Amino acid sequence: MQRRNFLKNSSAAAAGLLSTPLIASCNDQTKKAVTKVEESFSKKPIAICTWNFENATAKAWEVLKNGGSSLDAVQQGAMIEEADINNQTVGIGGRPDRDGNVTLDACIMDKDGNCGAVLAMQNIASPVSVARKVMEDTPHVMLAGLGAEKFAYEKGFKKVNLLTEQSKKEWEEWKKTSEYKPVINIENHDTIGILAIDANGDISGACTTSGMGYKYAGRVGDSPIIGAGLFVDNEVGAATATGVGEEVVRTVGSFLIVELMRQGKTPQEACEEGVRRIMAKNKGRTDFQIGFIAVNKNGETGGYCIHPGFSYRTYSETGHVDNPADSFLKA
Ligand code: GLY
């Protein structure tokens, strides 16, 4: 039986749409299918994000628990980190490029495959919200640089100085050597990628970052690139990435992981294969970190990374948990 029909038929059974005598007389295989679907219901709704961004998953869960959509959940979860000035890798307070400008990247994708993104946008504190406007109010998917900023003002976003005193001080210190060297696990918080399934079983995702600290002006990583930093397929699941974006772009990492799940891999197996592909391309190079997370349509999750130190947060009926991810290289 086709997997989709199987799920549809067994969902009907689990929802009590099959008559009692039929349930009573159903064979073991059908009973197992009903149990499996009932179990999977308990895993949804769910919010999952890269790193230990517990305030983001808490916000997303609040939206889901109140019957909100997965799209609202991922946007509002991501916005929490964008607004946190102490988080120097996302939104306001993010580390600047080598010229001292904070440039932000973000994208968002919904259950219908609609998506929007902003790239290298300055002076706007919530790029994920602008990305949603691109998705909903324009015929485009991506707006970059000054165009994105102009569009944000047209939509009512306010001009904000994104460079905090702390990030400015660190940038001035960095200029003394001007050595570009991404730090593995950047103090345990890098890009936030966030995925959610709502009570309807619909999946959405968002990803937002200030990118690599002290990058070349105009550099864009994986985070706003649909398929690289984020991908959602409502029939299968979703994936998102954190770490050195160039390597994620080269493998179209998040799309790859969703396709691996479509072929039958669990989210965990798919994330592991995604990291293995990156390592195979890099032939012995180990001076960078990548972390992938994924969720499938049943609400099962997985995460995997190159170096130890990456974890991901999940929030569902079963609790709010920080999950240390297994890694390709061991400590
Ligand atoms: N993953 C974030 C970036 O490379 O920009």
Average pLDDT for 140-149: 98
Q: What is the per-residue pLDDT across 36-48, written as a single tens digit (0 to 9) for each? A: 545 544 568 999 9
Confidence of residue 154 (pLDDT cuts 50, 70, 90): very high
Kindly tell me if the per-residue pLDDT of 69 is higher than 60.
Answer: yes
Does the CB atom of residue 212 touch ligand 1 within 6 A?
A: yes
**Ligand 1 contact via 45 beta carbon (within 6 Å):** no
- Expressed in angstroms and rounded, the spacing between residue 191 Cα and the centre of ligand 1 is 6
Write the pLDDT tens digit of every residue in 8-35: 333 333 333 333 333 334 456 555 555 5
Average pLDDT, stretch 142-167? 98
Q: Identify which has the larger pLDDT, 186 or 138.
A: 138
pLDDT of residue 26: 44
Whole-number Å distance between alpha carbons of 308 and 78: 24
Residue 53: is its pLDDT beyond 90?
A: yes
Q: Are 190 and 50 in contact (CB under 8 A)?
A: yes
Interval between CA 244 and ligand 1 midpoint (Å): 5
Q: What pLDDT does residue 27 have? A: 57
Confidence (pLDDT) at 185: 67
With CA atoms as reference, report the closest residue to 195 among 150, 144, 227, 240. Answer: 240
239 Cα–ligand 1 center, Å = 15
Q: Does residue 209 line the site of ligand 1, with CB under 6 A?
A: yes
Per-residue pLDDT, averaged over 49-68, amounts to 97
What does pLDDT average to over the chain? 89
Q: State the pTM of this model.
A: 0.87
CB of 242 within 6 A of ligand 1: the answer is yes
**Is-contact 85 93, C-beta < 8 A?**
yes
Which pair of tokens denotes residue 149? 């900023």
The reply to whether ligand 1 has any atom less than 6 angstroms from the CB of 247 is: no
Reported confidence tier of residue 88, pLDDT bands at 50, 70, 90: very high
pLDDT at 44: 82
| Active site residue ranges | 191
Pairing between strand 115-121 and 142-144? parallel
Summarize the confidence of residues 230-245 as an average pLDDT.
Answer: 97
As a whole number of angstroms, the distance between CA 33 and CA 145 comes to 50
Percent of the chain with pLDDT over 90: 82
pLDDT in tens, 160-198: 999 999 999 999 999 998 887 777 766 556 799 999 999
Q: In the chain, at which residue ranges do the beta strands (DSSP E only) sit? A: 46-50, 104-109, 115-121, 142-144, 192-197, 203-209, 230-233, 237-243, 290-296, 301-305, 311-316, 319-324, 326-327
330 or 32: which carries more pLDDT confidence?
330
Helix (H, G, I), strand (E, B) or coil at 238: strand
Residue 142: name the closest of 124, 122, 117, 121 by CA: 117
Residue nearest to atom 5 of ligand 1 (CA): 211
The DSSP line for 259-295 is: HHHHTT--HHHHHHHHHHHHHHHHTT--S--EEEEEE
For residue 121, is pLDDT > 60? Answer: yes
At residue 43, the pLDDT reads 66
Pocket test for ligand 1, best of 128, 222, 247 (most atoms within 8 A of CB): 222
Residue 112 has pLDDT above 90, yes or no: yes
